[in-house]
Amino acid sequence: MSTALRVLVGSIVNGITVYGVFILGWSVATALALYWIENVVTIVLVALLFVLHRAVTQKRGHSRGFLKAFLFQSSTFTFFHGLFLAMFIFKLFPEMEHPERFSWPQFKLGMMMIGGVLLLRFLVDAAMVKNMTFATLRAKAESFMNRVVIVHLTIIFGMIAMVVTGRPRALFAVFAGLKFLLELVPVSEPKRSTKEQQAALSQLADDELVQA
């Protein structure tokens, strides 16, 4: 159910942005900003899910500092990506032959729509948090981080291509399609030796124990 829910939510969120650009006339600059704010909201909601899970289950895995590491990595990457994105949105995009200026009204509407979908997913996860293993919760966070890196590196190179070619909407369609495909493809685990697998299984078992 988790995979199906992730794909469904990802498809709806991606669909909102694509519909906004090609049907409602949102600017590409606004759409790229929405991709960024989607990450910010997801980071907050994943962190809240960790806090709720710890309060309800008291699993030992929470004592290993995974949440702090997740917040540091995801927030740092998102912050610097936001700076890079802002330079393109507010400096380079308005100077293109066919300007794609950022729109606050479009952004606020898109943010409310995307935030509503992400909040609904959070409420579904929160309703099942009592029976959720720490391993499942950790996998959610790791999967999110892996996709964030892939998607936003793609967006960075895409923005450069948009500025160089002067055809932002055509390239946006390509990268929106790639983002959708990434939601369908599961993130593969790195190969481990037998010893590493045994150690990982032992830690997983220990993570699920309730703290004294």
Span 26-74, pLDDT tens digits: 998 899 899 899 999 999 999 999 999 999 888 888 888 889 999 999 9
User: Residue 97: its pLDDT value, please?
Assistant: 55
Q: State the amino acid at position 29 in one-letter form.
A: A
Whether 194 is in a domain gets the answer yes
Whether 125 is in a domain gets the answer yes
Whether 175 is in a domain gets the answer yes
Whether 157 is in a domain gets the answer yes
User: Residue 68: its pLDDT value, please?
Assistant: 93
Neighbours of 65 (CB within 10 A): 9
Name residues whose C-beta falls within 8 Å of residue 35's C-beta, 6 or more positions apart in sequence.
17, 151, 152, 155, 179
Whether 212 is in a domain gets the answer no
- Gap between the Cα atoms of 200 and 151, Å rounded: 28
User: Residue 198: its pLDDT value, please?
Assistant: 47
Measured on CA atoms in the order 87, 90, 91, 97, is the torsion positive or negative? positive
Q: Measure Cα distances from 51 to 37, 41, 46, 47, 173 in Å.
A: 21, 16, 9, 6, 37
Domain that holds residue 109: 2-207
User: Residue 61: its pLDDT value, please?
Assistant: 80
Decide: 190 and 196 in contact? Cβ < 8 Å: no
Q: State the amino acid at position 12 in one-letter form.
A: I
- Gap between the Cα atoms of 134 and 118, Å rounded: 21
Whether 113 is in a domain gets the answer yes
10 Å CB burial of residue 178 (0-12, 13-18, 19+) is: middle
Whether 91 is in a domain gets the answer yes
| Total domains present in the chain | 1
Q: Which pLDDT band, with edges at 50, 70 and 90, does 190 fall under? A: very low
φ, ψ of residue 210 in degrees (nearest 5): -85, 135
Element (H, E) at 115: helix 104-127
Whether 136 is in a domain gets the answer yes
